[in-house]
Structure 1
Amino acid sequence: MAMAQDWWRKKLDEYLYELSESLYTSVDGILMQMRPNLATSEYLEIDIATNPMRKVEKLIRSVRSRDLTIFNKFCDILKKSGHESLAEKLRAPIQTSSLQSQDHVDRQQIRDQEKASTDKTEKFSLFISYTHNDNTNEFARRLQGDLEHQGWEVHIDTKFMGPGDELSGEIATAINDCNGMIVILTKNYKESKWCPKEVNLAVSKGKKLYPLFREKIADDAKPSSIDLHINTTHLLYGSFCEDDQYDESLKQLIKCLRKDAENLGYS
């Protein structure tokens, strides 16, 4: 049975170089999606790596040390991130008759999990918008992980964008496909050249906004689209200005999100 469990680890070893070459530009996003499946210390050890290819190697080693379920989750994330061919290569059976017969049960498990994933209804989806000019990266990632633990799909952009950049197709698609946008408001949010573009796109698509205050800010520092939405709905979704209020504010936010998800037909 040990050999049956080894086939997918052998695949990770076989394609380690190709994975490093292919994923180094998108490893941060893939790592964020894998975060719920990793221990906090394990995630932080991978995340602190400054070399992207080194970060990929650490992530692969972590996946390799886990079970088949985590391997399957990793392959699903690769497919969602535009690396479908790599995911197919990893899942392709090794062409060795003795190994094929021994790993039959494991490969059947993968097929069953894929079918279950296909049959499963879509998840309630959120997009987190925040400015990289503030020290909000850690907060945004923590929030993403906590909301994903609720079973929701949470998109976050970890790539810094310059003043002259336009929203990437990937970000625009995520906003277009999401059910709502969480906006982390800080003093510098309105000064961002691209965060208001995310808000305006969400508003134009009829997406519900969930403004969260990470800092106490004056009314004239709030983006106009958010002001309009708040004045129309008379809803605020909590203050996260103080770290010791995080848990209570998170409960309030989850309660609101769960109600909206249920109204939209998500379990």
Structure 2
Amino acid sequence: MASNKIQRCSSSQTKNFDVFVSFRGEDTRNGFTDHLFAALQRKGVVAFRDDQTIEKGGFLESELLQAIEGSRVFIVVFSKDYASSTWCMKELTKIVDLVEETGRRSMLPIFYDVGPSEVRKQSGKFAKAFAEHEERFKDDLEMVEKWREALKASCDRSGWDVQNK
């Protein structure tokens, strides 16, 4: 694998990462995902991390999408408010599309304080998030449906159920 060095991105260079981690920052950044990134770095895995990789003033969406395209493995940390983030839903849709298109990339789901069935069935906070998305994006319900499909597809994979840990 690659070195322990965190790669810096600029729009002129190709971004290649071993791992892209999709997560809701407000839910897990200062806890679970910090520990996950530290563990990956200790093992020499180069992981994309938005708060350390995207240069200030950079365009978030294009940088995120390029990082996803340049990654070999995806870890998706589903948490209570994951689906409420349009960024997370855009990332997940891109990840699922790449995994399905190429068949060469792996997606590893982690269910952090949320059950896999809640994500799959889009119940609880996931149902509430989608009701809000449907209201907010009522002129683009096709996009919201793609987000729903991406959630379902990602839950068809075996993952880790991390409750209260």
TM-score of the pair, normalised by structure 2 = 0.60
Q: Provide Cα deviations, 1:2-43, integer angstroms capped at 9, x if missing partner.
A: xxxxxxxxxxxxxxxxxxxxxxxxxxxxxxxxxx7xxxxxxx
Return the alpha-carbon distance in structure 2 between the equivalents of residues 210 and 182 of structure 1.
5
Alignment match, 2:93 = 200
Alpha-carbon deviation of 1:184?
Answer: 0.7
SS in 2 for 1:152: coil
Residue 164 of structure 2 aligns to which amino acid in structure 1? E
For these two proteins, the number of residue pairs brought into alignment is 119
Q: Which runs of 5+ in 1 are unaligned?
A: 1-35, 37-72, 83-122, 160-165, 244-267
Is the alpha carbon distance of 1:127 and 1:215 closer, same or farther for their aligned partners in structure 2, counting shifts above 3 Å? Answer: same
Structure 2 counterpart of 1:211, from 106, 109, 118: 109
Q: How has the CA–CA distance of structure 1 residues 185 and 227 changed in structure 2, closer, same or farther, with 3 Å as cutoff?
A: same
Contact 2:17/2:48 (8 A) holds in 1: no
Look up the SS of the partner of 2:109 in the other structure: strand
Cα drift, residue 237 of structure 1? 2.1
Instruction: Tell me the percent identity.
Output: 24
3-state SS in 2 of match to 1:168: helix
Which whole-Å CA distance do the structure 2 matches of 1:210 and 1:167 have between them?
23
Q: Where do 1:93-242 residues align within 5 Å?
A: 125-158=18-51, 167-206=60-99, 207-217=105-115, 218=118, 219-220=121-122, 221=126, 223-231=148-156, 235-242=157-164
In the TM superposition, what is the alpha-carbon distance from 1:157 to its structure 2 partner?
Answer: 1.9
8 Å CA contact 2:96, 2:153 repeated in 1: no
Q: By percentage of residues, which structure has more helix?
A: 1
Q: How high is the TM-score relative to the length of structure 1?
A: 0.39
Unaligned runs of 5+ in 2: 11-15, 53-58, 100-104, 128-147
Q: How does 1:243-258 map to 2 (within 5 A)?
A: 243=165
